[in-house]
Structure 1
Amino acid sequence: MKRICLTAALSLALSVPAFAETLTLDSIIALCSTGIGDEAVIAKIKSSGTHFDLSTDQMIELKGKGVSGPVIAALLGGADGAPKPAAMSMDSPDAMVPHPSGVYLLMSMGSGARMQRIDPTVTNQSKTGGIFGYALTGGIASMSIKTAIQNETAKTRAAVNRPTFYFFFDESNPETARQITTFASGSTAAVSSPAEFTLIKMMKKDGRREARVGSANIGGVKTGVMDKDRIAFDYEMVRPGVFKVLPQAALAPGEYGFIYAISGGGSNGAMTARIFDFSI
């Protein structure tokens, strides 16, 4: 009878799964020191569901005690062994924090700083100026081509006359690169540098803002921002896909914008452009 009870108890114990073991850093170090191999240690980490939010110092210490890089990565990634992507922010002033792609203005606040994302304004309305002089001189005098956007002032306003901007491109967030990008322009070429943008000052007129994006005379038609209308700015890479941008000189009060993707594909042949607009 005792033998039957013992057999039943043993069968029951074997049929009940053991609770997942909670690993510690010391136990990970001990496992690695036995030489059983990374695959076995990583499998143990996965099965236990262990996850550590390791600091830089802890990672260095683990490496110094013989824990391999793949094992450390598994500790950071938790049960699936894959590193968890950092949470995105829309307003963190830290450029190392992931942000959705776009152009951001660094805003100084009473309690600190934050970034404000500038939504691009797309226009497909164009007009001409200087027609009288063009006609009077038989096309010797140039006729300007302007693109217009609604409202006399931008929603985003800089508090200083030499504001700081950050450009986040798709490269900064590889996991979102397959999604629709802020910088989509109908072109297959990827936008990846502030050098592809032009900083311009816009003119207020009758409830809208205008920017010159071309000229025409007897010699032909030019499209794009004229050299004399360009405002110089500097930029530097903070990390892959992220750039810090500063105007080279203080900007006078007025309406401005970073413009790119000028084309003639608008309705009725109108000039189109995407402008990240702001005011001083």
Structure 2
Amino acid sequence: MRRGTGALAMALALGAATAANAQSFDNRSVMALHRAGLGPDVIIAKIRALPCNYDTSTEAIIALSSAGVAQDVIVAMVDKCTGSSRAQGVNNASADPLVKHAPGIYLLESAQPAKMTMLRPAASAGLKVTGNGSILFPLMAKLTVTQAQAQTVIHGSRPTFYFYFNADDEKVNTFGTVGSAAAQSPNEFSLVKFRVDKNTRQFVVGRVQPYVEVVGVDPKNTLPFDAEDMGDGIFRIQFAADLPAGEYAFVLPGGKTSFRIYDFSIP
């Protein structure tokens, strides 16, 4: 492969790379719009435009009705969530990891009182390309994430995570969604360690040098983890060795052009 051809291929493949970000619109958001005086038509349009992120349990519906939220709005929420695990009685407040939670990645914090903390996806600031494509200085594309540290800070070197999937409906939940389908297994994710550069974090998503071209997360730059299937779409993630202090993320590649980044920090 000619060096110029490889550089052009990576530029075309990765030039549009972004981190997929989902809007968070839940029961509290519906209540906020209602209190602001917006009519049912506006709220329903918002509900229909975004994936299910609502609590449609009996208690939650009663709370919405008691607050004066229109019946048509509540029906729209239930319709949007039909088939999702949220509509099947999830309990995000439970510290028991075997209780079904909304789809996502959760950190099990064992300090008393124990709790499950959900990792939220991070936003990408774009690509940084370095090098000239030679053997000594390969052309490197690095996805950068704003801020030097993740919001989720873990006080321990061997954390335990739980992945929750809604295996019955690939297109209802927003967890891990890249393109049109939601992730279904931890094996679709890679664990990477960021390189911190000033006020950004970076990891390599492309490399070009003579006779070598890698597009996407290079397996050589990933860290191993053990995923145990606990049943009902629940997976426990553990590590065989301590993780050194640093910035990490579970990354879901979506082809060549987008990534979902769930980051955490070990100080």
State the TM bucket, normalised to the shorter chain.
0.5 to 0.7
SS in 1 for 2:150: coil
Alignment match of 2:211 (pick from 195, 216, 219): 219
Alignment of 1:145-224 (within 5 A): 145-171=141-167, 174=168, 179-188=172-181, 190-224=182-216
Post-superposition offset of 1:109: 2.4
Q: Which has the higher contact order (CA 8 A, sep 6+)?
A: 2
Separation in structure 2 between the aligned mates of residue 260 and residue 142 of structure 1, nearest angstrom: 24
Alignment of 1:1-280 (within 5 A): 87-111=89-113, 113-123=114-124, 125-131=126-132, 134=133, 137=134, 141-171=137-167, 174=168, 179-188=172-181, 190-265=182-257, 272-280=258-266
Post-superposition offset of 1:148: 0.6
Separation in structure 1 between the aligned mates of residue 240 and residue 93 of structure 2, nearest angstrom: 25
Letter matched to residue 250 of structure 2: F
Contact 1:140/1:218, CA 8 A, preserved across alignment = no
Deviations along 1:118-160, whole A, 9 cap, x unmatched?
01124261111233xx3xx4x6742221101111000001111
Unaligned runs of 5+ in 2: 1-86
Q: From the superposition, tell whether residues 216 and 118 of structure 1 become closer, same or farther in structure 2 (CA, over 3 Å).
A: same
Separation in structure 2 between the aligned mates of residue 246 and residue 97 of structure 1, nearest angstrom: 18
Letter matched to residue 116 of structure 2: M
Task: Determine what percentage of the aligned residue pairs are the same residue.
Answer: 32
The structure richer in helix per residue is 1
- Supply the RMSD in Å over aligned alpha carbons: 2.2
Deviations along 1:224-256, whole A, 9 cap, x unmatched?
222331111001011121100012211011100
Separation in structure 2 between the aligned mates of residue 91 and residue 231 of structure 1, nearest angstrom: 30
The number of equivalent residue pairs is: 180
TM-score if structure 1 supplies the norm length? 0.59
Unaligned runs of 5+ in 1: 1-84, 266-271
TM-score if structure 2 supplies the norm length? 0.61
Contact 2:179/2:254, CA 8 A, preserved across alignment = no
SS in 1 for 2:194: strand
Q: From the superposition, tell whether residues 123 and 264 of structure 1 become closer, same or farther in structure 2 (CA, over 3 Å).
A: farther
Post-superposition offset of 1:262: 4.2
Post-superposition offset of 1:185: 0.5
SS in 2 for 1:170: coil
Contact 1:91/1:116, CA 8 A, preserved across alignment = no
